[in-house]
Amino acid sequence: MDYFPFFMRLRGQRVLLVGGGDIATRKARLLAKAGAKLHVVSLAIESELEALVARTEGSLRLGEFVDTDLDGVVLAVAATDDAGVNQRISEQAQARHLPVNVVDSPELCTVITPAIVDRSPLVIAISSGGEAPVLARRVRSKLEQMLPASYGRLAGLASRFRQAVKDKFGDGDQRRRFWEKVLEGPIAEQVYAGNEAEAESMLANELASETGQTGGEVYLVGGGPGDPELLTLKALRLMQQAEVVLYDRLVSSEVMELVRRDADRIYVGKRRSEHSLPQPEINQLLLNLAKQGKRVLRLKGGDPFIFGRGGEEIELLAANGIPFQVVPGITAASGCAAYAGIPLTHRDHAQSVRFITGHLKNNDPNLSWPELAMPGQTLVFYMGLMGLEEIAQMLLKNGRSPLTPVALIEKGTTREQRVIVGNLQTITAKVEEFAAKGPTLIIVGEVVSLRGHLDWFGDRDRQNVN
């Protein structure tokens, strides 16, 4: 992030605008709308800009920019067609530690003007850091279509009750929950319908009857294999509601970026033979937080009910009467296979697919290997990197063809995805050669041979090793 986004209060403040043409006028419109007093310096000035100066009770000086024009201003804006003048304004403003914006010259700016969606008092700013302003405007256009004008009236209603809600609820979480109920329920619908008086009456009644006493709840959410675009809509909604998040190492940083910013985050990740928090303690922590009235998000990589131990976690919650929701996620098998161009089933190659944990208890291959070695099926081993050699040897020992294709997918669905392909005889050596690291997924079966034809990502974005 090259620029830290913030909103600057300009009402009644003096702002320097150097330039008198069309671009300067467009800037002046926004500054005037924010209540700034315009101090315009230019050799010539358009009539609309001159009117804006008068309307804002600002000042106008016809002439060249001089350093003293920066006296008493809180912001400097350069909108001339003279690169030398623009640079001098930038240098002089920065020397005084004044924020400065130079139109179409992000390298000279300390602040930039975003594309704006105005639903005052709700204002949305979109910025590309000056690198792609047309894209920022396209995003603004899409948001303009999505957000009705009544959002501004809804924000105004919330503003009028803000202090009353703050007085009633001393706890920030209680206030947040109250406002979420208001802004997502029938009160908001009355505003959208134009019935603001009715909405205000309903909000007053809701506030008078609200006790602020709410019970805790747990959301058990599958975060998918890594690509944030694979999250479900329900997962995104609950990720934005939760006050506390317990997450593991398989949840990608891109997915974590979508969690509510002010939520408390607790890492409970696990590696082979290394648990930051043992499973029974995770279960108890979920229970304790819910009993405190918290909305708790248990965010897991993949799907919580496929080798995710989600059943153990909700078992304790159910026994203690804690409400919970379970949101499935795209499991690693389907996500990673799809991104690697490997169909898990195919009429000519595999009529069934089996999901198997690759964690071999005490290094003991206690699986039904004769069944797994049968042809006509696809085997997907989760967490099998450390046991890869043993897996290959046991399948060979029980009759699976040495030429059976095998793919190991590393960091599947992410930009760091690698696919290492071999067969039961060669895959172990190939994986060692390319020093694969977790998280990984292993796919065994004839369907792997199809990936050359069906790899829709190819070498453009992800690395393939054959």
8 Å CB contact between 387 and 359: yes
CB within 8 A of 37, min separation 6: which ones? Answer: 12, 13, 14, 15, 56, 57, 58, 59
455 is catalytic: no
Q: Looking up tokens 């975060």, which residue turns up?
A: 223
The verdict on whether residue 225 carries a ligand-binding annotation is: yes
Q: Residue 357: which H helix or E strand, with range? A: strand 352-357
The verdict on whether residue 333 carries a ligand-binding annotation is: no
The verdict on whether residue 22 carries a ligand-binding annotation is: yes
Distance in angstroms (rounded) separating the CA atoms of residues 408 and 430: 10
The verdict on whether residue 81 carries a ligand-binding annotation is: no
Token pair of 1 as six digits: 């992030």
The verdict on whether residue 121 carries a ligand-binding annotation is: no
Our CA angle for 129, 135, 138, nearest 5°, is: 130
Distance in angstroms (rounded) separating the CA atoms of residues 37 and 55: 9
Of the candidates 250, 464, 291, 442, which has an alpha carbon nearest to the alpha carbon of residue 357? Answer: 442
CB within 8 A of 356, min separation 6: which ones? Answer: 367, 372, 379, 380, 381, 382, 384
Helix, strand, coil distribution of the chain in percent, nearest 5: 40, 20, 40
Residue 317 has phi, psi (to 5 degrees) of -65, -45
Distance in angstroms (rounded) separating the CA atoms of residues 227 and 206: 40
Three-state DSSP at 35 gives: coil
Q: Residue 299: which H helix or E strand, with range? A: strand 295-300
The verdict on whether residue 301 carries a ligand-binding annotation is: yes
The verdict on whether residue 67 carries a ligand-binding annotation is: no
Residue 289 has phi, psi (to 5 degrees) of -65, -40
User: Which residue in 33, 168, 181, 270 is the catalytic one?
Assistant: 270
The verdict on whether residue 43 carries a ligand-binding annotation is: yes
Beta bridge partners of residue 347, listed in sequence order = none
The verdict on whether residue 82 carries a ligand-binding annotation is: no
The verdict on whether residue 44 carries a ligand-binding annotation is: yes
Three-state DSSP at 365 gives: coil
The verdict on whether residue 136 carries a ligand-binding annotation is: no
User: Which residue in 248, 294, 300, 411 is the catalytic one?
Assistant: 248
248 is catalytic: yes
Angle of helix 172-184 versus helix 150-168 axis, rounded to 10 = 150
Distance in angstroms (rounded) separating the CA atoms of residues 166 and 168: 5
8 Å CB contact between 221 and 298: yes
Distance in angstroms (rounded) separating the CA atoms of residues 112 and 186: 39
Of the candidates 439, 435, 333, which has an alpha carbon nearest to the alpha carbon of residue 378? Answer: 333
Which residue numbers belong to the known binding site for S-adenosyl-L-methionine? 225, 301-303, 306, 331-332, 383, 412
Which residue numbers belong to the known binding site? 22-23, 43-44, 225, 301-303, 306, 331-332, 383, 412
Which residue numbers belong to the known binding site for NAD(+)? 22-23, 43-44
**Residues classed as catalytic:** 248, 270
